[in-house]
Amino acid sequence: MIINTERFQLRTLTTKDATDKYLSWFNESLKFSKYISFAQKKVNIGDLIQYIENRENREDVLFLAIFTDDSQHIGNIKYEPINFENRSATMGILIGEKEWRGKGVASEVIKRSSEYLKENFGIKNINLGVDKNNIPAITAYKKMQFKVVKEVNNRLKMRLSLK
């Protein structure tokens, strides 16, 4: 499956995408990876492949790799789980390549992929959890119209209502 945005191509993430470069996104710095639950422990290629395999072919998961127009894999966006009954999806996003952070990738990719979920599955709400100390992410989500709906411990639950 492929979804195009203005600058990027989103396609289903596969185990072929589990490269050393992708793995380095989790192991590069504690400052960055402390906000990613998968990166709370040291991971290896086998862990990464298993993580992807566990999500392949599941109807309640949309796991997409983000590629530039020159085919550079720069990050991923994942909706898991997608709850078809209450028309909601829980989102996570990772912009792994440092030079692409802060360049509007997240907003462009979230906008288009959430439109896809709405158009194809009738999804009405996108939920996410974010560490309340991850100020850059919170600021970006608020600009995209996500609202804080709950605070538990050091995490904020945010929701985007699709119109």
- 47-92 tens-digit pLDDT: 999 999 999 999 999 999 999 999 999 999 999 999 999 999 999 9
Q: What is the DSSP letter of 110?
A: H
For the chain, the domains span 2-161
Helix (H/G/I), strand (E/B), else coil: 28:
coil
How does the average pLDDT of the chain come out, rounded? 91
Distances in Å between the Cα of 140 and the Cα atoms of 57, 83, 91, 135 are 31, 25, 14, 9
- What is the arithmetic mean of pLDDT over 19-36? 68
Q: Which CATH number fits domain 2-161: 3.30.70.1350, 3.50.50.60, 3.40.50.720, 3.40.630.30?
A: 3.40.630.30
Residue written as token pair 């100020």 = 135
Burial 123-150 (b: 16+ CB within 10 A, else e): bebbbbebeeebeebbebbeeeebeeee
This prediction has a pTM of 0.91
What pLDDT does 42 receive? 74
Pairing mode, strands 88-95 and 125-131: parallel
- What is the arithmetic mean of pLDDT over 125-149? 94
